[in-house]
Structure formats: structure tokens, C-alpha cells
């Protein structure tokens, strides 16, 4: 499922949350909307088990730390390397087998 904004992510999660294995989210401007999305997911008992991978071409330490503190499982800086994508796929595959 593809969503183009943090608000759309929340809408999709409210409808399909039980079927979502992982969230890949772009840290976009304004960053505060991404933080709100992370807070919403973290507060929701039915959604907070879903790993959230934040991606951006920005590597500002303050943004990375805040995303991780708000519940992101990982923060990847673009361009992504093939081994990073392989690790994500492996993580999803292992979770499905549990």
C-alpha cells in the first residue's frame, strides 16, 4: 500500500493495520508531520508493533534521534544501499514466519 503523506499513512493504518508488516516512510518537510505520525503509531496498541523505517536524504542528528526516540526502528540515509534493502526484506520475511 502506498500513501503520500503522514495523514494518509494514518488513514491506511486505521483501515489495514492488521495486514501491514512494515512501514517505510520518507522524512519530508515539514518534519513535524512525520513526528506526529510516529507519535500516533506509538500510542496505538494495535499498531505500535509494526516496525517503522524512516528514510531521508537528510542526516541531521537531531532529526535522526527524534525519529528513533518516537519509535522508528531504523533511520536510513539516501541513497540506500542494496544490503540495507536486503536487510529490510529479511526482517519482514522473518516476522511473517513467526
Q: Residues of 52-63 as b/e, b for ≥16 C-beta within 10 angstroms?
A: bbbbbeeeeeeb
- pLDDT over 70, % of the chain: 98
Q: Residue 39: what pLDDT? A: 97
Q: Domains of the chain by range and CATH?
A: 6-97 (3.40.50.2300)
Stated pTM of the model: 0.85
Q: Residue 1: what pLDDT? A: 84
Give Cα separations from 11 to 26, 42, 68, 79, 83 (angstroms).
Answer: 16, 15, 22, 28, 31
pLDDT tens, residue by residue, 11-48: 999 999 888 988 999 998 789 999 999 999 999 999 99
* CA nearest to 16, candidates 67, 50, 42: 50
Amino acid at each position: 500500500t502506498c500513501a503520500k503523506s503522514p495523514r494518509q499513512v494514518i488513514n491506511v493504518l486505521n483501515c489495514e493495520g492488521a495486514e501491514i508488516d512494515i512501514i517505510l516512510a520518507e522524512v519530508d518537510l515539514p518534519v513535524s508531520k512525520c513526528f506526529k505520525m510516529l507519535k500516533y503509531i506509538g500510542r496505538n496498541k494495535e499498531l505500535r508493533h509494526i516496525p517503522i523505517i524512516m528514510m531521508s536524504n537528510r542526516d541531521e542528528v537531531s532529526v535522526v534521534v527524534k525519529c528513533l526516540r518516537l519509535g522508528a526502528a531504523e533511520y536510513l540515509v539516501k541513497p540506500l544501499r542494496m544490503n540495507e534493502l536486503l536487510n529490510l526484506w529479511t526482517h519482514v520475511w522473518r516476522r511473517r514466519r513467526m
